[in-house]
Amino acid sequence: MRTAPTILHLDMDAFYASVEQASKPSLRGKAVIVGGLGPRGVVATASYEARVFGVHSAMPMAQARRLAPNAAYLVPRFEVYRAISEQVMGLLRALSPLVEPLSLDEAFVDLEAEGAAWDAESARLTGTKLRSDIRAVTGLTGSVGLAASKMLAKIASEEAKPDGLLLIEPGTERALLGPKSVRILPGVGPATGDHLRRAGITTVEEIVEAGEDELVRLVGKAHGHGLYAMALAHDDRSVVAERDTKSVSVEDTYDVDIHDRVRVRTEVQRLADRCVRRLRGARLSGRTIVLKVRRYDFSTLTRSETLRGPTDDPAVVRETAARLLEAVDTTGGVRLLGVGVSGLADYTQEDLFAQAAGETHLDDEDTLEEPAREAAAPAERRWPAGHDVCHTEFGHGWVQGSGLGRVTVRFETPDSAPGRVRTFRTDDPALQPADPLPLIPAGPEQSEVTAVGRKASPGSQGTVAAKE
């Protein structure tokens, strides 16, 4: 392990919920829960105000509604979260070339790689400035942990939450870990924790006292050796720079099983178009098209086909996905569909058959879903809770809820006062979906900080395959 706390772990505070509170003044300081709102939905993120009621990530949404019936329940806006994540990751890459993202809102940074820090004091100053820059660029808060190892840096950031910084001085690790619950160690989940508790081991120090041989007997050879080393604060893992994207994929889970075969085919075509847009946004192409189908009984089928060369042609991806679907029995109903592309390359081998057939190619601005939307009856327009809209008279707002042919909208912007609520017909032509507004207006100071973050972010496409 290192002799200086130069590994930094950043964890954005209640990221999705914090983004929603920052963009919606009426929700600031209130319980906000983001996730799937259907009967099978789960909580993606809960604000700290919602956590007071016992709501937490991965909880079934039905249970969250029982615990916090008066909270604001919103559908995730992943495009917004990804855009803000890229701003944050850009700031991290400006500190060091060794940035290891774990998710949209979490990453390790090796501060020694480019001399950003070399001892405790310089590491603390770097962490403090990073938190300030994140707030200036995004308006959000993040917690920072600094330590001599990845495990301890992550533990430190968790201890610092929310909106804090904790530095663990080398040599103090054992004293810090000793009285903590065994659950603080990576890989110790509820099952392992209960197993250790039944053996009389509840704290990290009791793991050390039990000894390595006893740990191996209790939890197995591989897990036992690793668990004992972590209890001794031994962790020699290095920060691994962001790896190349291995695949690009999109998927949707449906509140009600889809039984209509025509609807299933339409959904697969729509997912294929979304996948191609993301593929092109990352300036990639791929050789293998993958179809994922989760059926009514939770069985999941994956089918794939490898092409002669890499492509980013939407017609090719749609046709291949449709062909894969023909080999899947969906008569019992479908609850999830996904389309992905793997075997990625940074160039495209043009599909001569598509060209000969006169297939059109998808430009970055094209939205192949639009014709289907235009063909649908206006009353079928969906208004997801929390998503942005614009009214010709009242301006920008967001959907509070919809149903029974009505949609309720609160008209406010990130830099306005809490706005008024109005209700419209779902087919009101004056109301349209809108692009999200920036959380922070681009003033001179913010632009300067953002430019610094962008300076070191040419490889930012690596987060493209982030799970939706």
User: Residue 399's beta-bridge partner residues?
Assistant: 409
Q: What is the pLDDT of residue 347?
A: 52
Cα–chain-centroid distance for residue 344? 21
- Residue for token digits 């995004």? 138
3-state secondary structure of 382: coil
8 Å CB contact between 53 and 67: yes
pLDDT in tens, 423-460: 999 999 999 999 999 998 765 555 455 444 444 333 33
pLDDT in tens, 151-177: 999 999 999 999 999 999 999 999 999
Which class for 159: exposed (0-12), middle (13-18), buried (19 or more C-beta within 10 A)?
middle
Residue 372, pLDDT > 60, answer no
The residues, ordered by sequence, that sit 6+ positions from 124 with a Cβ below 8 Å of its Cβ are 146, 165, 167
Tell whether 346 is in a known binding site.
no
In CATH terms, 247-357 corresponds, of 3.30.1490.100, 3.40.30.10, 3.40.50.170, 3.30.70.20, to: 3.30.1490.100
> CA angle at residue 326 from 296 to 262, to 5 degrees?
70
Q: Is 100 a catalytic residue?
A: no
Transcribe 149-185 into DSSP letters. Answer: SHHHHHHHHHHH-SS-EEE--TT-HHHHHTTSBGGGS
CATH number of 1-169+443-468: 3.30.70.270
pLDDT in tens, 180-227: 999 998 878 888 888 899 999 999 999 999 998 998 888 888 788 888
The residues, ordered by sequence, that sit 6+ positions from 309 with a Cβ below 8 Å of its Cβ are 287, 349, 351
Q: Which of 52, 55, 54, 53 is nearest to 34 (CA)?
A: 55
Task: Please state which of the ranges 35-44, 72-81, 417-426, 427-436 shows the lowest mean pLDDT.
Answer: 35-44
Q: Which class in CATH covers the domain with range 378-433?
A: mainly beta
Q: What is the pTM of this model?
A: 0.71
pLDDT in tens, 218-272: 888 878 888 899 999 998 889 988 666 678 888 888 877 888 899 999 999 999 9
Tell whether 11 is in a known binding site.
yes
Among residues 106, 173, 267, 319, the one annotated as catalytic is: 106
How is residue 222 written in tokens? 């591989």
pLDDT in tens, 270-310: 999 999 998 888 788 899 999 999 888 778 889 999 988 88
Q: Is the peptide bond before 5 cis (omega within 30 degrees of 0)?
A: no
In CATH terms, 180-231 corresponds, of 1.20.90.10, 1.10.150.20, 3.40.50.300, 3.40.30.10, to: 1.10.150.20
Every domain of the chain and the residues it spans:
1-169+443-468, 180-231, 247-357, 378-433
